[in-house]
C-alpha cells in the first residue's frame, strides 16, 4: 500500500522540486519516481529533468556518505 502524502511531505516536495531531479527527490523521500512525478503533476509542480537538475551532495539531504550512489568504478561484468 502506498504511503499517504502528509502536509510536510508536500511542503518538502515543493521545496525540492525547485532544485533537484525527480530521482533525487524520490530517493530522499523514500518514494518511487513514479509516485513523486504523479504527485508533482497533481500539484502542478514543474520537475527538473535529470540533466538540468543539481546533483545533491550528501550534505544537502543529510545522507550518509555510503548512500551517495554506486562506486566510481563499475566492476560488474
- Is 73 part of a structural domain of the chain? no
pLDDT at 51: 58
pLDDT for the residue 3: 84
Predicted structure pTM score? 0.64
Any domain includes 70:
no
DSSP letter string over 8-57?
HHHHHHHHHHTTBBHHHHHHHHT--HHHHHHHHHHHT---B-TTTSBPPP
- Report pLDDT for 69: 45
Count of the separate structural domains present in the chain: 1
Residue 77 falls inside a structural domain: no
Question: Where in the sequence is the domain holding 32, given as residue range(s)?
Answer: 7-63
Residue 26 lies in a domain: yes
pLDDT tens, N- to C-terminus, the chain (77 residues):
678 999 999 999 999 998 999 999 999 999 999 999 999 999 999 987 765 555 555 445 554 444 444 444 445 44
**Do the beta carbons of residue 22 and residue 33 sit within 8 Å?**
yes
Amino acid at each position: 500500500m502506498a504511503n499517504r502524502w502528509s502536509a510536510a511531505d508536500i511542503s518538502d516536495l515543493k521545496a525540492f522540486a525547485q532544485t533537484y531531479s525527480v530521482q533525487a527527490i524520490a530517493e530522499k523521500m523514500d518514494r518511487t519516481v513514479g509516485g513523486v512525478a504523479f504527485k508533482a503533476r497533481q500539484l502542478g509542480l514543474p520537475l527538473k529533468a535529470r540533466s538540468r537538475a543539481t546533483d545533491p551532495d550528501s550534505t544537502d539531504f543529510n545522507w550518509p556518505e555510503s548512500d551517495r550512489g554506486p562506486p566510481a568504478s563499475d566492476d560488474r561484468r
